[in-house]
Amino acid sequence: MERLDGNAAAGLLQEVFAREMTVAIETCAGCGTSEALGAVHVYMGGPGTVLRCPHCSTILMCIVRVGEELRVDLGGLRRIELR
Amino acid sequence: MAVWQALELVAKQPETPTAATLRFAPDRWPGHRAGQHVDVRLTADDGYQAQRSYSIASAPEDGALALTVERLDDGEVSPYLVDDMALGDALELRGPIGGWFVWDVADGGPLLLVGGGSGVVPLMAMLRHRRAAGAAVPARLLLSARTVQDILYADELHALGAGDDGPEVTITLTRGAPPGWSGYDRRVDQELLAAVAWPPPQRPRVYVCGPTAFVEEVAADLVALGHDPGLVKTERFGPTGGG
């Protein structure tokens, strides 16, 4: 599956968080590094959109659309700084 | 908050044999920043929907919203947009989207833009913004295209580069150059980047956009040359350019 980046998920992230999120800074729960969400790795070819840490590949966030619902798993995020 | 709106195509202009610029005039448009994109959604008669992202080509100062779309022969959306969509036809669009891969004149420079193929589209919005704002921020564009016919905005880039305070435009062709070609004729690598890029101590703001492999190679080469990873922003659009 082709690797994209957080820019490709910007519209979807805006649906979830109701604000521009690619400038938000995430901290990975796996390795502790921080990046702008625009710079994380994104995979969109499957049933959901998966955001992975560009340093350790931890799944930061997974967003799945089920009918009209969005289901969001944030298990790999330690924190998000909104900017 | 970007919501879906139906927009009619108001103008269309071929750019290359495989790409076209589509113009829209949204009623509700909050204004955009150079480097942002929109999401486009098409719905088939049976309800099937396909959604893609396309970079905005126009400057924020431009009244209309222009998208340049490259046709991918196996794509679901781009062949319709480039070949079949006629003036007055409508699509659904939301935007502007994104805030990370953007450049405003106030961000300063020097500015280094590196585009692969249609990855030049958001970079063109930055150069158009720079021109419209009358800014003299030093800027260089390195564009990698397959052949001469594939160079987007060739005439405009030539004119921009020839103007006072214009950006320095460097083009490299990866699948053969015509006789008399004065630019580069090879893939972008460290040596080419070292020749074209501002030296790392000048701390250029770098924007790289193109297919995933291109973007990742260029970003890695720039960091290897000593550029601060924190100043290198990337936007990947995958091998299919989003289809």
B167 with B88, same domain: the answer is no
| Binary contact (A37, B99; C-beta < 8 A) | no
B85 with B112, same domain: the answer is no
Give the number of C-alpha atoms closer than 13 A to the C-alpha of residue B42, restricted to the C-beta side: 15
pLDDT tens digits along B51-67: 999 999 999 999 889 99
pLDDT band for position B243 (cuts 50, 70, 90): low
Q: Which residue has the higher pLDDT, B241 or B88?
A: B88
Can the peptide bond before residue B122 be classed as cis, meaning omega within 30 degrees of 0?
A: no
B207 reaches A (C-beta below 8 A)? no
Query: Per-residue pLDDT for B242 more than 80?
Result: no
B189: number of Cβ within 10 Å: 12
B111 with B179, same domain: the answer is yes
Is residue B241 included in any domain, yes or no?
no
User: Which of B74, B97, B120 is at the close of a domain?
Assistant: B97
Are the beta carbons of B172 and B192 closer than 8 angstroms? yes
Interfacial B residues in 30-69 facing A (CB < 8 Å): 37, 39, 53
B131 with B70, same domain: the answer is no
What is the dihedral sign for C-alpha B103, B105, B111, B114? positive
Average pLDDT of B11-23? 97
The ipTM assigned to this model is 0.95
Is residue B69 included in any domain, yes or no?
yes
pLDDT band for position B43 (cuts 50, 70, 90): very high
Q: Give the residue from chain A lying closest to B232, CA to CA.
A: A39
B164 with B63, same domain: the answer is no
B156 with B116, same domain: the answer is yes
How close A75 comes to chain B (CA, Å)? 23
A39 reaches B (C-beta below 8 A)? yes
Is residue B62 included in any domain, yes or no?
yes
% of chain B residues with pLDDT over 90:
89
Predicted pLDDT at B73: 87
Is residue B217 included in any domain, yes or no?
yes
Cβ neighbours of B233 in A, within 8 Å: 38-39
- Residue of B5, B208, B236, B237 to mutate when probing chain A, most A C-beta within 10 A: B236
Average pLDDT of B4-23? 97
| Binary contact (A10, B235; C-beta < 8 A) | no
Nearest to A14 among B2, B233, B242 (CB): B2
Query: Per-residue pLDDT for B89 more than 60?
Result: yes
- Report chain A's terminal Cα–Cα distance, integer Å: 30
User: B40-76: b or e for each residue (b if 16 or more CB lie within 10 Å)?
Assistant: bbbeeeeeeeebbbbbbbbbbebeebbbbbbbbeebb
Sequence-distant (≥ 6) Cβ neighbours of residue A16 within 8 angstroms:
A63, A70, A72
CATH of the domain at B135: 3.40.50.80
The enclosing H or E element of B140 equals strand B139-145
B138 with B229, same domain: the answer is yes
Average pLDDT score, chain B: 94
Interfacial A residues in 2-31 facing B (CB < 8 Å): 2-8, 10-11, 14, 18-20, 22-23
% of chain B residues with pLDDT over 70:
97
Give the number of C-alpha atoms closer than 13 A to the C-alpha of residue B103, restricted to the C-beta side: 32
B198: number of Cβ within 10 Å: 19
The enclosing H or E element of B132 equals helix B120-132
Task: Count how many domains chain B has.
Answer: 2
Query: Per-residue pLDDT for B241 more than 60?
Result: no
User: Which of B97, B117, B149 is at the close of a domain?
Assistant: B97
How close B75 comes to chain A (CA, Å)? 14
User: Which of B97, B118, B135 is at the close of a domain?
Assistant: B97
B153 with B190, same domain: the answer is yes
Is residue B243 included in any domain, yes or no?
no
Query: Domain residues for B230?
Result: 105-236
Is residue B211 included in any domain, yes or no?
yes
Cβ neighbours of B223 in A, within 8 Å: none
B119 with B63, same domain: the answer is no
B213 with B122, same domain: the answer is yes
Is residue B242 included in any domain, yes or no?
no
CATH of the domain at B56: 2.40.30.10
Q: Print pLDDT tens along chain A (83 aa).
A: 789 999 999 999 999 999 999 999 999 999 999 999 999 999 998 889 999 999 999 999 999 999 889 999 999 999 999 98
B138 with B92, same domain: the answer is no
pLDDT tens digits along B176-196: 999 999 999 999 999 999 999
Separation of alpha carbons B159 and B164, rounded Å: 10
Task: Extract the tokens encoding B65.
Answer: 């919203």
How close B52 comes to chain A (CA, Å)? 9
Average pLDDT of B124-131? 98
A36 reaches B (C-beta below 8 A)? yes
A38 reaches B (C-beta below 8 A)? yes
B13 with B69, same domain: the answer is yes
Query: Per-residue pLDDT for B1 more than 60?
Result: no
Is residue B13 included in any domain, yes or no?
yes
